[in-house]
Amino acid sequence: MSKHKNFETEAIRTQIERSQFLEHSNPLYLTSSFVFEDAEDMRASFAEEKERNIYSRFTNPNTSEFVQKICKMEGAEDGYAFATGMSAIFSTFAALLNAGDHIVSSRSVFGSTNSLFNKFLPKWNITTSFFNVNEVDNIEHLITSNTKILYAESPTNPAVDVLDLELLSTIAKKHNLLLIIDNCFATPYLQNPIAFGADLVIHSATKLIDGQGRVLGGVTIGKSDLIREIYLFSRNTGPALSPFNAWVLSKSLETLSVRVDKHCENALKVAEFLEAHNAVSFVKYPFLPSYPQYKIAKKQMKAGGNIVSFEIKGGVDAGRKFLNTLKMCSLSANLGDTRTIATHPASTTHSKLSAEDRLEAGISDGLVRISVGLENVKDIIEDLDQALKNI
């Protein structure tokens, strides 16, 4: 599948075939299986001589529509949809790696991805070496003859660092590695890693793709031969996205561009407000001119996204006090919701790491992550301002 119409149009007009009722909005296909005309139809379907739905662990019209839309938005050949972002990440590794293989990853990755690398994949003798986001020169030194995958998020969660996708792709190609990018923070609207040379792209659809904090979902898209391996693994092991969640997510994609435009507009204003505040020692937002990787962000992203991280003067205590003083913003583990959410990684998601390991991953003691929502930005800023005044 390739991009042919404009993004917003693809998001709205990509639809599975209408039923005999000629519905305008797509129905929900809550069915675990599909029927066959006769024994020959059943044989041919299982032999994959025809493309059709058999069982919803394999494919379902709602999940297919969701996958087709994401493929068009990302310029990908094919994809498979998962129950969560983590099942997308795990199944992708499980399908493509063998015991003894090695991964090179950015150190700054989502907490559960980090657990996968350090705790679970080693059970199958799959090991990972990490590079710091500001030391990409180190990547080639970490590559061994067993390395199969180069993995990164951009922007990273929670530190909001950006990695140069073109550079990562050059390194991956030179050493014959698969480049896999977790594109969750950017969404298919702001950044298309495949255009910069990624082989596979993963999304947690739970975040901005749903955008309203309702359902979990995930997807892996990219080269069709790789997706075929991922599909075969998944159809046998069962991490499939539910048709209901696929229906919700496909509807959400219709409004992704307008929602993300507004999220980014609000986030930039929040970032500018925080940067000028004297209780804040630094702000990280990809489209602030002071951002260390500003040029790279401008090269590969359409706008800066909805996540702003900043350092409150006063470390862990100030970070916790700030959260306790917020009146409107939610304290929640999700992000990319219509509601603005604040978290303090050092005392929560990353509290198990040593202070030193946290710093290596870009998480300082007073770092606060704000997922800027769609409320009126004046109200968001007013809440942040009163909390900063009262710490």
Ligand X SMILES: *Cc1c(COP(=O)(O)O)cnc(C)c1O
Interacting residue ranges for ligand X, rule: CB under 6 A = 84-86, 110, 153, 157, 182, 184, 204, 206-207, 216, 218
Is residue 193 reached through a cis peptide bond, with omega within 30 degrees of 0 on the bond before it?
no
Shortest Cβ distance from residue 333 to ligand X (Å)? 9
Q: How far is the CB of 208 from ligand X (least distance, A)?
A: 10
- CA dihedral sign of residues 286, 289, 292, 297: positive
Beta carbon of residue 354, minimum distance to ligand X (angstroms, whole number): 22
Q: How far is the CB of 202 from ligand X (least distance, A)?
A: 7
At 291, the amino acid letter reads Y
Between 172 and 184, CB nearer to ligand X: 184
Q: Residue 360 contacts by C-beta under 8 Å, 6 or more apart in sequence? A: 107, 132
Judged by beta carbon, residue 157 or residue 306, the one nearer ligand X is 157
Neighbours of 138 (CB within 10 A): 13
Closest to ligand X by CB, 73 or 143: 73
- Between 185 and 310, whose beta carbon lies closer to ligand X? 185
Smallest distance from the beta carbon of 56 to ligand X, in angstroms? 19
Residue identified by tokens 């000629």 is 22
- Between the CA of residue 247 and those of 26, 67, 283, what are the distances in Å? 8, 11, 37
Looking at the Cβ atoms of 62 and 84, the one nearer to ligand X is 84
Sequence-ordered strand ranges (E) for the chain: 78-82, 102-106, 127-131, 147-153, 178-182, 200-204, 218-222, 280-284, 307-312, 330-331, 341-343, 367-371
Which residues share a beta bridge with 180?
A: 151, 200
Alpha-helical segments (H) within 75-181: 85-96, 111-115, 139-142, 165-174
Of the pair 56, 157, the CB lying nearest ligand X is at 157
| CB of 104 vs ligand X, minimal distance in Å | 18
Question: Which residues, 6 or more positions from 319, have their beta carbon under 8 angstroms from its beta carbon?
Answer: 312, 344, 346, 347, 365, 366, 367, 368
Min dist CB 266 to ligand X, Å, is 19
Our CB check for ligand X shows the closer of 204 and 343 to be 204
Give the residue nearest to ligand X (CB): 85
